[in-house]
């Protein structure tokens, strides 16, 4: 009887674990592949980068520049493939892994609870705390797998396998910390958007603290307060310090414990922080569908703008330092020009290279906003609107126009922040040049918006992923094609291959018009599909 009772009790637990696994399996596979592929690409191209002794010496000098350390971190063991790889893409992989961990955690916990899909799940013998534990454990397993994959890749890069293990463990622990933070915010706040925003803000502040600590030696202690700083202080392929990772692991454990304690103290559908009640009605932006779309995007736009401003202000403050350093480093400038990055010894050339990367976060913004539109439809928050004498196309158009408007705001504030940073340190950079450089990425952003609209009409469950393909997928395609020496036609499939380095040169108008036209076609096809399909519920 005891064994039968044990089996009966464990059946709901296994079902909950299976449900959580099903919800994250596709994204988990992609993020693990990404975490393994990026280091593998850098390792594969390491020998060609370091073949020239003069280039190697120039790289060491460049990596020692405070501005470069701000962006990539403290360089360690650049004469080894593993050390160079950690320095070159370690932070980038860590950020992607942490962001995915946060988004997935809040989506399958607070998101599912907000949608009411946990009501039936919790009507049986499963407790709220137990369901949260099962879901969080499934997501936490993914960064562990990603860390193992990175360790395996770096172990084949050279004889120093200790450095590979330290970096792989560091990525895993950082991912666990991100999952713990997201789990805690999902218990504190009664809305998925707020929980996700706060968790992302914690992540962003940590990254900024690491960057400031690397750029200013007097503030190097800030790295001990940042999860990214602790990851860097573990120094893979150098001292290989375990203490920073132990500190980060303890932080993750404490935050996880707080999340579980919070889950046991709240009601289903609620949070430790109760939403404001009894406030006066705010009817100013409820007169039209378009005004309501603007109202819903304001808070997310402010959060995204804050992150973009902080990053590009830092870019502007360090640009003059980098260009001054490169002024007499012809070998580095020539090598960069051969790789497609021209004019890095000028403010216009360096900012043009950085501005091209702006398409990634802004493209992701458009995808996330269209994903929020579909989520509102799935959660039945659009049901009353759809029941009014309003066309489906008007609802979609209002969301799309507002989203593109928000993207234009992000592009503009990035330009202004960069210009302010450059001018603040005595650099020569016109605000018009900065605006031209950031707005140059608009066609790729529109492609992301078009892909998201197409997914809204045809595959609503994959709006965010499909919407990120033109920008994020296109960037990865270009990097991979360049690294493995793929045929030119393969690289030309990336939108970034048709993006001119503005403001160093003029806009590639033919490429811009083609991408914009393709984006318009995707939007039109998505609108037709959305008009024909049923509302989700």
Say whether pLDDT at 19 is over 70: yes
What percent of the chain has pLDDT above 90? 45
**Average pLDDT estimate for 494-518:** 93
Which of helix, strand or coil describes residue 434? helix
Quote the CA–CA distance of 166 and 231 in Å, as a whole number: 9
**Average pLDDT estimate for 41-57:** 69
Say whether pLDDT at 301 is over 90: yes
Higher pLDDT, residue 444 or 318:
444
**Average pLDDT estimate for 193-207:** 88
Quickly state the pLDDT bin for 437 (edges 50, 70, 90).
Answer: very high
Determine the pLDDT at residue 537: 45
Higher pLDDT, residue 243 or 194:
243
Determine the pLDDT at residue 424: 92
Determine the pLDDT at residue 436: 95
**Average pLDDT estimate for 5-16:** 61
* SS3 annotation, 466-483: HHHHHHHHHHHHHHHHHH
Determine the pLDDT at residue 345: 78
Q: At what angle do helices 392-424 and 289-326 cross, to 10 degrees?
A: 30
Determine the pLDDT at residue 224: 95
Q: Which residue has the tokens 């705390």?
A: 129
Q: What are the backbone dihedrals phi and psi of residue 282, each rounded to the nearest 5 degrees, phi first?
A: -110, 95
370-383 pLDDT, tens digit per residue, is 988 888 887 777 76
Quote the CA–CA distance of 474 and 486 in Å, as a whole number: 14
Name the nearest CA neighbour of 142 among 298, 238, 20, 316.
20
Quote the CA–CA distance of 378 and 395 in Å, as a whole number: 15
**Average pLDDT estimate for 424-436:** 92
Q: What are the backbone dihedrals phi and psi of residue 120, each rounded to the nearest 5 degrees, phi first?
A: -70, -40
Q: Which residues contact 149 (CB under 8 A, 6 or more apart)?
A: 32, 35, 36, 168
Determine the pLDDT at residue 4: 37
Burial class (CB in 10 A: 0-12, 13-18, 19+), 2: exposed
Which of 166-175, 214-223, 238-247 is predicted least confidently?
A: 214-223
Quote the CA–CA distance of 487 and 481 in Å, as a whole number: 8
- What integer best gives the mean pLDDT of the chain? 86
**Average pLDDT estimate for 115-144:** 88
Hey, how many other C-beta atoms are within 10 angstroms of the C-beta on 378?
17
Say whether pLDDT at 272 is over 70: yes
Say whether pLDDT at 8 is over 50: no
pTM equals 0.80
């Amino acid at each position: 009887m005891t064994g039968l009772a044990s089996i009966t009790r464990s059946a709901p637990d296994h079902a909950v674990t299976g449900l959580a696994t099903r919800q994250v399996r596709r994204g988990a596979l992609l993020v693990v592949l990404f975490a393994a592929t990026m280091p593998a690409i850098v390792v594969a191209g390491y020998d060609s980068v370091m073949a020239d002794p003069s280039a190697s010496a120039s790289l060491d000098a460049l990596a020692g520049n405070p501005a470069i350390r701000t962006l990539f971190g403290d360089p360690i063991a650049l004469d080894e493939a593993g050390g160079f790889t950690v320095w070159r893409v370690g932070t980038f992989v860590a950020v992607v892994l942490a962001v995915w961990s946060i988004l997935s955690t809040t989506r399958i916990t607070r998101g599912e609870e907000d949608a009411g899909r946990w009501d039936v799940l919790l009507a049986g013998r499963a407790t709220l705390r137990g369901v949260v534990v099962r879901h969080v454990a499934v997501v936490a397993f993914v960064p562990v797998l990603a860390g193992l994959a990175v360790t395996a890749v770096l172990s084949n890069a050279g004889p120093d396998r200790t450095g590979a293990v330290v970096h792989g463990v560091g990525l895993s622990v950082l991912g666990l910390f991100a999952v713990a933070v997201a789990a805690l915010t999902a218990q504190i706040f009664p809305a998925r958007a707020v929980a996700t925003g706060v968790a992302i803000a914690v992540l962003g502040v940590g990254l900024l603290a690491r960057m400031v600590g690397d750029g200013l030696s007097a503030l190097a202690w800030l790295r001990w307060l940042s999860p990214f700083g602790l990851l860097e202080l573990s120094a893979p392929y150098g001292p290989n310090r375990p203490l920073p990772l132990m500190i980060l692991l303890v932080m993750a454990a404490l935050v996880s414990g707080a999340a579980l304690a919070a889950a046991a103290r709240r009601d289903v559908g609620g949070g430790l922080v109760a939403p404001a009640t009894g406030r006066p009605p705010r009817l100013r932006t409820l007169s039209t569908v378009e005004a309501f779309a603007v109202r819903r995007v304001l808070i997310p736009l402010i959060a995204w703008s804050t992150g973009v401003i902080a990053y590009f202000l830092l870019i502007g403050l360090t640009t003059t330092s980098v260009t001054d350093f490169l002024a007499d480093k012809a070998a580095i400038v020539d090598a960069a020009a051969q790789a497609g990055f021209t004019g890095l010894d000028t403010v216009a050339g360096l900012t043009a290279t950085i501005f091209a990367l702006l398409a990634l976060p802004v493209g992701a913004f458009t995808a996330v906003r269209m994903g929020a539109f579909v989520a509102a439809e799935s959660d039945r928050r659009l049901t009353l609107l759809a029941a009014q004498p309003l066309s489906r196309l008007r609802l979609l158009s209002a969301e799309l126009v507002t989203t593109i408007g928000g993207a234009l705001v992000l592009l503009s504030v990035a330009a202004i922040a960069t210009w302010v940073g450059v001018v603040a340190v005595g650099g020569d950079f016109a605000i018009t040049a900065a605006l031209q450089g950031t707005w140059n990425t608009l066609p790729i952003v529109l492609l992301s918006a078009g892909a998201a609209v197409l997914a809204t009409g045809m595959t609503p469950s994959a709006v965010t992923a499909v919407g990120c393909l033109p920008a994020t997928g296109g960037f990865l395609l270009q990097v991979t094609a360049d690294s493995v020496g793929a045929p030119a036609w393969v690289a030309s499939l990336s939108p970034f291959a048709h993006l001119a380095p503005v403001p160093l040169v003029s806009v590639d108008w033919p490429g811009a018009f083609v991408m914009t036209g393709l984006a318009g076609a995707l939007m039109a096809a998505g609108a037709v599909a959305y008009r024909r399909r049923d509302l989700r519920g």
